[in-house]
Chains A and B, each alone.
Chain A
Amino acid sequence: MTTYTIPVGPLHVALEEPMYFKVEVTGETIASVDINAGHVHRGVEYLTMQRNFYQNITLTERLCSLCSNSHPTTYCTALEAIAGIRIPERARYLRVIADEIKRVASNLFNVAIMAHIIGFDSLFMHVMETREVAQDVKETIFGNRMDLGANRIGGVRYDLDAKNQDYLSQQMERMKADLAEIVDIYRNNSMIALRTVGVGVLPHDKALEYAVVGPVARGSGVAYDVRSKAPYAAYDRLDVPVVTETGGDVRARALVRLREVQVAIDLIQQCLRDMPDGPIAIGGLPRIPAGEAIAKSEAPRGELIYYLRTDGSDKPERLKWRVPSYMNWDALHVMMEGNRISDIPLIVNSIDPCISCTER
């Protein structure tokens, strides 16, 4: 049978951001994939070394839209580690709440797009309508539907009064019934199963070999979640179940994301129950001494790691971060081979790729 090379991207209807795939196909079957990146490389990492520590809180939040809060949270955690700052108890819980609200919106967006790719547009709208509750929460509490502006060095920049706590609790409760229905559809609907079960499989051993993280790893049975392996903020005080599926396919990754939305809602409710009164940040602008630190967090797409080195000035000597998508791209080689051309958009979407994050 003749082999052809099909270009997919860099601009393509199934890709939200630009990435270029050269796909070798034999008939309808994918033989191999070559990934070409670099279309939105902005040199942001270099730019952070020309900005002071405070300016970088704003800059890191703009690396990405869907996981925008994970970046400044992790960056501030690294600064606090170098400066020996212990953030107030209440701020720890508020950081969890901000991160988990973002996770709800991010994960639901990805699984909604999956339904859209399949052509199940009523489901797409149902999931997006449910996600809209999280968007409303962000707009009400943070004044913004995407970048929350929640972090500062030594704590957070927002607080929840009694009225907002009640509102947040009610909104989380409101999502539960819809979510249960959505999870049931993704797990049991025959049309979803036909397009996603056994598609884009990443076996457990390959997940380990490719060092994938987040829902991609957990969908292949790798039980690694930074929130339980290396706790930060208030996660050490919360009950954080690690969600795994064993299928390793497109549906398994979607189910992990959906179940993690349910966990996120539970975590927000735990925070509202347990959060103590008190200050939300240390006072003043702390001086950052020379030093180096590692900070990690579980972003919606998986482990985010920051390495920060300082020299006593007000700018980073070196700031490096690696986003979860970085390794997950490479695993597409395994996921795609042997699958059909028509499944390419579904498989790419199933790693919930973030190109802005990857290329920086």
Chain B
Amino acid sequence: MKDQLGSFIGRLQPGWTVECSTDGYGVTVGWCVLETAGDLLPVAAAVKQAGGRLSTITAYQPKDANATVREIAYHFDMDGDTLTVTVRLPRLGAEIDSLTPLFRNADWNEREFMELYDIQVRNHPDPRRLFVDATVDPAILDRLIPFSTMVNSASTKTLWERIMAKTGGEQ
């Protein structure tokens, strides 16, 4: 384990735990799960003090449609080692603090998961759409969209009927 991850582990508060494993190359990955979303900013501050860098953020859709909890994983680079901090949030109406005051590059990551999932970010400096056009419904990956709705009821049969109508063939 390199000094940065070690330094972060030295700053752990009660209730925060990190499980680590080191591979054959000597590269360590640490996993930390936060049951309280309010702990995210203090943990991120401790990562920053230890010299860490935000690598990326992963939000995901719970596979179970009836799940009451969803997760966001924050991945930090610690001089080559990686610390993943997973935050548990309510499945519906999830809100989380923006990491942009600590890590500027959280900006795009948070904009991206805000537009794809039903998660609001508090105090984001620029909460506009990032990739998905404004005409597309919000939280698009959290929705079940029937195929017939997605294609606006247009099917190959409809297309074929139009072609036949234009060419004067039998329908």
Contact = CB atoms under 8 A, between A and B. Distances in A.
Contacts of A318: 58, 60
A120 B55 CA distance: 37
A211 B105 contact: yes
Contact of B56 (A209, A232, A326): A326
Interface string A210-221: 110000000000
Q: Is the interface of A mostly helix, strand, loop or mixed?
A: mixed
B133 A296 contact: no
Contacts of B55: 303, 305, 322
Given A38-B132, A41-B131, A330-B108, A230 B80 contact: yes
Interface in A261-317: 292-294, 296, 303, 305, 307, 309, 311, 317
Interface residues of A, number: 33
27 contacts: A38-B132, A209-B104, A211-B54, A226-B80, A229-B79, A230-B81, A230-B82, A231-B25, A231-B26, A231-B27, A232-B27, A292-B84, A294-B84, A303-B55, A305-B55, A305-B56, A305-B75, A307-B56, A307-B75, A307-B84, A318-B58, A320-B60, A322-B56, A326-B56, A327-B108, A330-B107, A359-B131
Contacts of B27: 230-232
Interface in B139-164: 141
A197 B133 CA distance: 38
B141 A46 contact: yes
B25 A311 contact: no
B103 A211 contact: yes
Interface residues of B, number: 34
A289 B66 CA distance: 24
Interface of B: 23-27, 29, 31, 53-56, 58, 60, 63, 73, 75, 77, 79-82, 84, 103-105, 107-109, 129-133, 141
The list of the 5 closest CB pairs from A to B, nearest first, reads: A229-B80, A322-B56, A230-B80, A38-B131, A211-B105
A291 to B, nearest CB: 11
A38 B130 contact: yes
B3 to A, nearest CB: 12
